A and B are shown apart, each in its own frame.
Chain A
């Protein structure tokens, strides 16, 4: 069966390749003529990336300059790596790095596996009406903006007035102020992330689960496999490639700890744990006008992101022989 599929794919690729004869006859214009509509379809995408993704990258050069708007990007003096050395030497650096990495790590080990677990749980539901209802209900938070989520959090955790404030402190017999206690900041952030993103994150895994070969389950049932062993030996290995790809993609934006979310939940009392690269860049660049310095910080973050994505890809190829590139 696998062979048949491979043969199919080979056939499909062949169909796209221009027959040799024709290619030789009108070398140059022929290829373009033949695929002009495909190229036309490609054009908006290419334009989009050039204009909004590649064009602005040149602006990153101000990380190596002392940018003054009046002098422009070209006219501002070069300072080399001064902003980077300043940043690495500043006491903020370690704090920001730690805060960012801890949040990123929590995201990877809690939020990410949770989407897989929920997808597996949904997959085991027998009544499709229940399954679909639950699915729809857990998608809904995804469509709320972070501003709304933050307001809701403030309402339910508000000191003296929030229902969850009373419930949790009542059960634990404590007096925790979740909104300002720096020790609880990450817990609240993770709670928000999970509430908002988990349902939506299950979509891709549910799609992968739908394509798992049903015959294997039937065979396993005949062999006497229980539910657990079916999940462990059939379902998980089948969706493993999807999990790996999603994990690698996630590594790329693992440092994008969610500017809006964190910015909205930050206050004077929890700032020490709340500050991450994104909020720091906003604060320095937008509110304080240190464009060059904040660009340097942002650039550093981007470089770390690239290293992480290549690292994860390399690791996954070593152990699994699958990667995304």
Chain B
């Protein structure tokens, strides 16, 4: 019997092998050293369905830049996996969106998967950035492997229930001390006037990221002057949790929690429901980003149609206990557009791809990428774009997805959106003002451009030691001595090597 099975098994294996091979052969485009007539791109989409090939918006873009595009859209949730699979396969596109300096990307880049663009970008007017510090931060040890996709550089915001503030007779907080007073009053002074003790101050959700991931804790620690993830002391880069300011900030957080001024389930509260306590009048303060204030306002429109205008107030960063503002900026970018070497083999081809990308970041193409087609997906009101609500779903998807290809390294290339109501427009203008003035006080992460090998291998793992210990200390599970010994454990399990490597890289860069 056994012998008879063998031929069948062989047949089966052979057929699998054949099926496997056929995947690799459909690759007629590009390759070699000829001119590129169709640019292949891989990009993520965040809408519910991928935009159709050759939709009107894409066609308009192709006409504008003078090159045909062939875009492979990949769902955002599985984008990182797909990126790795694509790079390991034969069908690598000319241009690929990469979403951040993940360990996988760093390893691929260091193995030579992508063109290094550091010395090329300056030759292209639309790609030569006006935000060199962001480009530096997006690099791997000073080597630029992609054209970064610019985002707001300052987003940190404190939003407060304005009606509650009025009821307890307080002003918008300007300092961390004010924040404590407001949170205390929101908990103890019955801000909703229902006679019951059913409110608290600050709403904090469980945070999926470790340290330095813009959690409310990280924000407060930066305000206290601990730095932004890393900080420079006496010429040395050290992690912010090695500073006294950091410990003071954590104690401040603990005093808020111990006083009962924070939701008690801060360790498990689902961050997807972050808005809810604010909207149903349980909690009154959120520390997050400006766009949340806008969406809170929008949500309250339905819940409180008569009073929503007076319910949300917001401000930017708060002044720390030393009397100075230490503002927490964003990284300023969200991934980058890379050019893998697999298809773009020669420097001429690289130049050609770069000049196409240069066209794509022109003011004309930028409007198509960011706003779509005038008259179909938006109309102009002065300099502001008013979205056409009843535009076909196809076109809306196309615009939302194509904006993923926007680089905006010389400033935003589209029209800014017009807000739905005057109140919201005023809030939007105020937000832009705060963003600009806060950015002047921004604390930059001195280690942002540097990628340490030990961090790539172990960073995510050891960072959890500190963020878990911080939360355990806040929850009262461990003492302050335990917290500092956990920080010592971070150092022992690889942190010291990370710091040494970062300082070495920084020294080599100067």
Chain A residues within 8 Å of B, Cβ to Cβ: 31-32, 39, 42-43, 46-47, 50-51, 55, 68-73, 91-92, 154, 158-160, 179-180, 267-269, 271-272, 283-284, 286-290, 293
Is A269 in contact with B460, judged by CB distance below 8 angstroms?
no
- Mostly helix, strand, loop or mixed at chain B's interface? helix
- Spot the interface stretch: B147-155, B392-400, B419-427, B469-477: B469-477
**B265 engages A159 (CB within 8 Å):** yes
B267 touching A46 by the CB < 8 A rule? no
Q: If A31-B4, A46-B8 touch, does A289 touch B268 (CB 8 Å cutoff)? A: no
9 inter-chain pairs at a CB distance below 8 angstroms, sorted by A residue, are A31-B4, A50-B13, A68-B111, A72-B88, A92-B461, A267-B206, A269-B468, A288-B103, A293-B457
A271 touches B268 (CB 8 A): no
Option from A43, A70, A159, A284 in Cβ contact (under 8 Å) with B268: A159
Q: Which of B13, B111, B206, B268 has the most CB of A within 10 A?
A: B268
Task: Provide the residues of chain B in CB contact with A50, threshold 8 Å.
Answer: 9, 12-13, 16
Minimum CB–CB distance from A157 to chain B (whole Å) comes to 9
| B83 nearest in chain A by CB position | A69
User: Quick check: B108 and A69 within 8 Å, CB to CB?
Assistant: yes
Compute how far the CA of A299 lies from the CA of B371 in the bound complex, rounded to whole angstroms: 50
Q: Which of A180, A283, A293 has the most CB of B within 10 A?
A: A180
Asked whether A284 lies within 8 Å of B16 as measured between CB atoms, the reply is: no
For the complex formed, measure the closest distance between the CB of A45 and the CB atoms of chain B, giving whole angstroms: 11
A-side contacts of B8, CB under 8 Å: 39, 42-43, 46
Return chain A residues, CB-CB under 8 Å to B301: none
Judge whether B475 and A269 touch: CB under 8 Å.
yes
A269 to B477: give the CA distance in the assembly, Å.
8
B104 interface residue (CB < 8 Å to A): yes
CA distance A180 to B477 in the complex (A): 10
Q: Is B40 in contact with chain A by the CB < 8 A criterion?
A: no
**Chain A residues touching B, majority SS:** helix
Q: Which residues of A contact B270 (CB under 8 A)?
A: 154
Given A269-B472, A287-B460; 4 other pairs, CB 8 A cutoff: A31-B4, A51-B16, A283-B461, A289-B103
Determine whether B107 belongs to the interface, using a CB cutoff of 8 Å to chain A: yes
Contacts of A267 in B (CB 8 A): 206, 267-268
Q: Using Cβ atoms and an 8 Å threshold, which residues of chain B touch A158?
A: 265, 268
**A289–B265 CA distance with the chains assembled, in angstroms:** 31
Are B108 and A68 in contact (CB-based, < 8 A)?
yes
List residues of chain B with CB within 8 A of the CB of A39. 8
Against A, the Cβ 8 Å flags (1 = close, 0 = not) of B105-144 are: 0011001110000000000000000000000000000000
Closest to A179 in B: B268
From residue A275, how far is it (CB to closest CB) to chain B in Å?
10
A71 cross-chain contacts in B, Cβ below 8 A: 111
Which residues on A sit within 8 Å (CB–CB) of B268?
154, 158-159, 179-180, 267
Instruction: Please indicate the chain B residues that have their CB under 8 angstroms from the CB of A43 in the complex.
Output: 8, 12
Are B264 and A160 in touch, CB under 8 angstroms? yes
Does B88 contact A55, Cβ atoms closer than 8 Å?
Answer: no
Chain B residues with Cβ below 8 Å from A46 are 8-9, 12
Chain A: CB-nearest residue to B478: A269
**B46: Cβ under 8 A from any A Cβ:** no
Q: Which residue of A lies closest to B494 (CB)?
A: A90
A288 with B468: in contact, given A31-B4, A159-B264, A267-B206 (CB under 8 Å)? no
Beta-carbon contact of B12 and A283 below 8 Å: no
**Cβ A268 vs Cβ B12 within 8 A:** no
The minimal Cβ–Cβ distance linking A184 to chain B, given in whole angstroms, is 13
Do residues A180 and B475 form an inter-chain contact, with CB atoms below 8 A?
Answer: yes
The 5 closest A-B pairs by CB, nearest first: A289-B104, A70-B113, A289-B103, A69-B84, A268-B471
Q: How far is the CA of A284 from the CA of B104 in the complex (A)?
A: 11
Does B303 interact with chain A (Cβ within 8 Å)?
no
Which residues of the other chain, B, contact A272 by a CB distance below 8 angstroms?
468
Indicate if the CB atoms of B16 and A69 lie closer than 8 Å: no
B102 in the interface (beta carbon within 8 A) = yes
Q: A residues within 8 A CB of B9? A: 46, 50
Nearest neighbor of B9 in chain A, beta-carbon distance: A46
B384 interfacial by beta-carbon distance below 8 Å: no
Kindly state whether residue B380 has any CB partner on chain A within 8 Å.
Answer: no
Q: Is B388 an interface residue (CB 8 A)?
A: no
